[in-house]
């Protein structure tokens, strides 16, 4: 059983918060992902609270900005190691950005984002991407730089 099916089979509940099963074994990437889930939890707190579209849009904007910065950091690493699956991975980042933007524009248009919308984004898009594409990228980074401390020497 690979990491994705193990993580998905371990619970029928959606993966909507960061947990160790989402670790890709690269500290920088894991920290980025942890922070993205933290921002998503802030969006959820708004949605489950007053659910004011303006307030939701504000926290979604932070999540969208941070997600895009994270994607850029991964894409820079891909270039650095001449990652073979770069094009496919970048396409997935674009798709993730599209889904987040859709939620953002919905709240900007005065529509309510629901708890279920967030579960779908985090479980079906974020967690799946992390457990497939990001896990593979982290392995390739490790193969290219098995001893990251030596890169600084
Ligand atoms: Fe990625
Ligand atoms: Fe990622």
> Which is higher by pLDDT, 145 or 138?
138
Each residue's pLDDT tens digit, 9-33: 555 678 889 999 999 999 999 999 9
87 backbone dihedrals φ, ψ, rounded to 5°:
-60, -45
Kindly identify the ligand whose nearest atom is closest to the C-alpha of 67.
Answer: 2
Token pair of 83, please?
Answer: 């990652």
CA distances from 21 to 14, 55, 75, 90 (A): 13, 31, 23, 23
Q: Give the DSSP H or E segment for 73.
A: helix 53-81
Each residue's pLDDT tens digit, 78-108: 999 999 999 999 999 999 999 999 999 999 9
Ligand 2 is an ion; its neighbours by CB within 5 Å are 134
The reported pTM is 0.87
**What pLDDT was estimated at residue 153?**
44
Quick count: other Cβ atoms within 10 Å of Cβ 145? 14
For 51: left if phi > 0, alpha if psi spans -120 to 50, otherwise beta; the answer is left
As a CATH number, domain 30-145 is 1.20.120.50
CA 113 from chain center: how many Å? 18
**What pLDDT was estimated at residue 135?**
97
Each residue's pLDDT tens digit, 36-51: 999 999 999 999 999 9
Ligand 2 centroid–CA 50 distance in Å is: 30
């Amino acid at each position: 059983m690979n990491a994705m099916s193990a993580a998905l089979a371990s619970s029928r509940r959606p993966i909507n918060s960061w947990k160790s099963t989402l670790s890709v074994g690269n500290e920088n990437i894991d920290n980025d992902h942890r922070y993205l889930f933290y921002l998503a939890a802030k969006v959820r707190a708004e949605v489950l609270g007053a659910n004011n579209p303006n307030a939701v849009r504000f926290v979604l904007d932070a999540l969208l900005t941070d997600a895009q910065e994270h994607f850029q950091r991964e894409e820079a690493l891909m270039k650095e190691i001449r990652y073979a699956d770069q094009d496919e991975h970048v396409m997935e980042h674009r798709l993730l950005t599209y889904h987040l933007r859709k939620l953002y524009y919905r709240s900007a248009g005065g529509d309510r984002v629901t708890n279920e919308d967030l579960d779908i984004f985090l479980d079906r898009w974020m967690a799946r991407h992390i457990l497939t594409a990001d896990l593979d990228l982290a392995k390739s980074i490790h193969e290219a730089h098995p001893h990251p401390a030596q890169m600084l020497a």
